[in-house]
Amino acid sequence: MQLVLPHRSRVAPQSFFLAASCPETAAPAEAGGLPRPSWLAFGFTAMTWRPGHSECRARLRWDELSVPCHVYRRTREEVLQVPNSLGFLLAWLCWPRAVEPSCCFLYLHGFPDQSLDHRKELSSYGQLRPTLPRRLAAQLLDARPEAAFAAFNFSGTPGSDASCPFRDKTVTQELSDTLAMISYLRERWPGLPIHVIGISTGAIVASLLRGVGAIGDITITTIAGLKNVQRGFCFDFDTVQQQAFDSDGECWKEFWLPRESLSNPPEAKFNVLGSNSGSEGSDSERWEKAHLPLAAAYREDFLKLDLSTAISAGTAPLLVLHGDRDRSVPLENGQELFEAAAHPKELLVLKGGDHLLRSSKTASKAGRAILDFTSKYPRGDTVDEH
């Protein structure tokens, strides 16, 4: 297991404690007067703490953030507000300390989900939250120390909803958001090759990028992607939600949120009993299923997406990854996407992989496939003969 360290720009050196341990030595019972967390045990290489930014500022808390300690030592991290067509996107960027990045892996989250923690009251604000992007960032940056890794929350997603509430989300806007993020990265590092990794609805956005002209050097990896948008719409919305679009002009879409956070969208509705826990942890940390209103414009936009043209006409190198145990978007959807796509393209079926690649084994397989594929197309256009 790996323990990650805090965002550098938000923590002064004196505000965290670092203690080394190894399989031969036990972790200290306490550090700086703070009882060690229950998960800290043999085999960890480092641990860290800092004062939490919650309502109880005097209470110290343990943070588990985005980047493993061995990657943290040679990288810089930054939480950003990246401008887009509507306002700003909450973004996270990690890049090498010693050199300019040679490329950037750009992660696109699914729906309903988010890449980054939106809780401004906590020190984990802006850090990678889901397990998969954390694992991919660790693996890819470890193997490619000269690379950068970036992620952001799409418009309407908590953290990127100041100018666009969840109600007004569309996939077309998410494509615009992605182009804005790519533009930001290339303004910062001109000519930077971008290796896009999209999961689920993020894979749809990544596929649409293939149809964007003059986008420059990119590769595209889809995880749990599809070609048929009508089928995809039915995967995301049940019969009751589809009927609500017709009768009410909106539906209530499920979204996992921390119940007590002041940073949640004000329109979020939770079950009264709070029994639908989405993740483990204390009451203040538990993420539960809530519901947010979503306008029928999302449906109209989604069903007009021309995925077939984008993937068949585009020439950006395409890697299609799909778990054979994906029950949310079954494997045949990824195979259909691959068959319709123009070359260059590759398909890898991840044995045992579910929709979110929850197991470390399948996530690692995905990471290795991405590394191999992007080595063949380091600039997204030509095969590396070496």
Provide mean pLDDT across the span 119-141: 95
Neighbours of 139 (CB within 10 A): 20
Provide mean pLDDT across the span 33-60.
38
pLDDT at 74: 86
Which pLDDT value is given to residue 164?
98
pLDDT at 4 over 70: no
Look at residue 99 and tell me whether its pLDDT is greater than 90.
yes
- Reported as a single tens digit per residue, the pLDDT across 308-353 is 999 999 999 999 999 999 999 999 999 999 999 999 999 999 999 9
Task: Output b/e per residue, 332-369; b: 16+ Cβ within 10 A.
Answer: ebbbbbbebbeebbbbbebeebbbbbebeebbebbbeb
DSSP code string of 281-332? S-TTT-EEEEEEEEETHHHHHHHT--HHHHHHH--S-EEEEEETT-SSS-HH
Q: What is the pLDDT of residue 65?
A: 52
Model confidence band, residue 381 (pLDDT cutoffs 50, 70, 90): low
Phi, psi values for residue 243, rounded to 5°: -65, -35
The pLDDT value given to residue 379 = 87
Q: Is the pLDDT of residue 122 over 50?
A: yes
pLDDT at 15 over 80: no
Residue 124 and residue 6: Cα distance in Å, rounded?
8
pLDDT classification of 202: cutoffs 50, 70, 90? very high
Percent of the chain residues topping a pLDDT of 70: 77
What per-residue confidence (pLDDT) applies to 214? 85
How does pLDDT run across 247-286, given as a tens digit for each residue? 999 999 999 999 989 999 999 999 876 555 554 444 446 8
pLDDT surpassing 60 at residue 48: no
Instruction: Classify burial at 1, counting beta carbons within 10 Å of its beta carbon; exposed 0-12, middle 13-18, buried 19 or more.
Output: exposed
Contact 143, 195 (CB under 8 A): no
pLDDT score for 73: 76
- What are the pLDDT digits (tens) for 203-245? 999 999 999 988 989 999 999 999 999 999 999 999 999 999 9
- Is pLDDT above 60 for 19? no
The rounded distance, in Å, linking the Cα atoms of 55 and 106 is: 33
Q: Give yes or no for residue 108 having a pLDDT over 80.
A: yes
Identify the pLDDT of residue 274: 53
pLDDT at 61 over 90: no
Q: How many residues does the chain have?
A: 386
- Percent of the chain past pLDDT 90, that is, above it, reads 73
Coil, strand or helix: which one is 247?
Answer: helix
In 3D space, the residue among 198, 186, 162, 191 whose CA is nearest the CA of residue 311 turns out to be 198
Predicted TM-score (pTM) of this structure: 0.83
- Listed by start position, the domains of the chain span 70-234+299-376
Structural element, H or E, at residue 138: helix 131-143
For the segment 71-91, what is each residue's pLDDT rounded down to a tens digit?
Answer: 767 899 999 999 999 999 999
- The residue-averaged pLDDT of 106-112 equals 98
Each residue's pLDDT tens digit, 144-188: 999 999 999 999 999 999 999 999 999 999 999 999 999 999 999
Give counts: helices (H), strands (E), the chain: 10, 17
pLDDT at 54: 40
**What tokens does 383 get?**
């095969």
Contacts of 268 (CB under 8 A, 6+ apart): 255, 257, 290, 291, 292
Arithmetic mean of pLDDT over the chain: 84
CATH of domain 70-234+299-376: 3.40.50.1820
